[in-house]
Structures are given as structure tokens and as C-alpha cells.
Amino acid sequence: MKKTLLIIEDNDEIQSILTNQFKNEYVVISAFSGTEGLLLFENNNINLVILDVMLPGKQGDQVLKELRLKNNVPIIIMSALGDKKKISEFLLNGANDYVTKPFDLDELSARIAVQLRNSNTTESKYSQLSFKQITLNSSDFSLNNKEEKIILGRIEFEIIYLLMSHPEKIFTKEHLYEVVWKESYLAGDNTINTHLSNLRKKIAQLDPKNNYIETLWGLGVRMDK
């Protein structure tokens, strides 16, 4: 069965290009505003979202936050901004990946395939894990204590699952990146730091009294004993 892509983009030309590119491999649903995108997401079984940053009505950052409250579907951001700080904010808020306009269609196609592959793998291979006062659940990609639950992005989930599965082990950034992203780490890439920072903030909401992810300078990271 074909996977379903939801493309939230207000530019007619870009919508047409993307639809023509992917319609043979996927079911493509188009939304031209953030509000329409959220409605279509609610009423369809969406496997991946391609989300433009600049939208009429609800902007891309608000749409991303609302989607993440509902689901852990892979989300790829499209941005013409080229602003690394803004891109980092989207990653912190749960985006899985991004492309900068103008983008290469073959590259976008590959990124979609990677996210869908990771999505399929993640859903089937994980169990429940606990550490100190929090529990990680694979059924809905959540962290919880006894009273509160927080939904994680897919990359966040894979990182914390890997760390919690081997709480004594020190993981270098290179190792984490290669295991989670399944590609070679590029020196200077700040993606890992962005996701680790986001994880620390979310965990602190559940248990502000304890530290969970320890950085050992020059070595890597592990669960904090």
C-alpha cells in the first residue's frame, strides 16, 4: 500500500512540482494553508508531512507544534530563510529534517525515503524503558512520570532510547549520529547538540530535581547516574 504524504505549501507552482514528482510513488494530499493542513491531517492517515515555514494564517512553527501534540509522524520543513537559528528552533520543536529552498528534488526524495524507513523501523523494534523517575514508551513515543506525559519527536525518541538502553555506555556524537541518522557524521554539525538540548528540557519538565543526560567533555554523553 502506498504511503501518504501531506504537503502544506501555499505556492501553487511548488505544490504542482512536488505532486508531479511524488504522485507515482505516494498518495499526495495538498494543503495551501496551515489551518487546511491541520484539518487534512485529522481526516487522513498521513505517513509524512512536508511543511513550509511561511504560510497564510497559521505559520509553519505553530502548525508544527500542533502536529506534534497529536502525533509523531515524520515532518520535513521547507524553508527559504536559510537561518540556522530558525532551523534549529524547528528541530527543537519536533521537526525531523529540513530542506532549504530552492531544493533538489532527488535530495528531497531521498530524505522522505529515509524518514519513512526510520518510521517503520522505530515502530517495530522498541520496548518500554525506565530510568530514575521517568518511563519511555514506544507505543506513542512519550516520556512520562506518574502524573504527566510528554510526546517526543522521532529523533529525540531514538536518541534517548539508545542512551537508556545502555545507561553505562558513553556515546560519542559521531556514534549517536551514525546510529540514529544511519549516515556519516559531518564535523561541525550541531544537530546532535540541538536534540540533546531539547531532550534535557523535556525531561526537566517531568523531573526537575534529577539530571538525566550527562556530558563528559571530550568523550561523549551517557545517562547520568
DSSP string, 113-145: HHHHHHHHHHHHH---EEETTEEEETTTTEEE-
139: pLDDT strictly greater than 80: no
123: pLDDT strictly greater than 70: no
Average pLDDT of span 61-85: 83
176's enclosing H/E stretch is: helix 173-181
Domain annotation for the chain: domains and CATH numbers = 4-123 (3.40.50.2300), 127-223 (1.10.10.10)
What is the distance between the alpha carbons of residues 190 and 186, in angstroms, rounded to a whole number? 9
Considering the chain, what percentage of its residues have pLDDT values greater than 70?
93
What is the distance between the alpha carbons of residues 215 and 138, in angstroms, rounded to a whole number? 25
Exposure string for 101-120, b = 16+ CB within 10 A, e = fewer: eebeeeebeebbebbbebbe
CB 18 within 8 A of CB 8: no
pLDDT digits (tens, 9 = 90+) for 20-35: 999 999 999 999 999 9
153: pLDDT strictly greater than 60: yes
The pLDDT value given to residue 45: 84
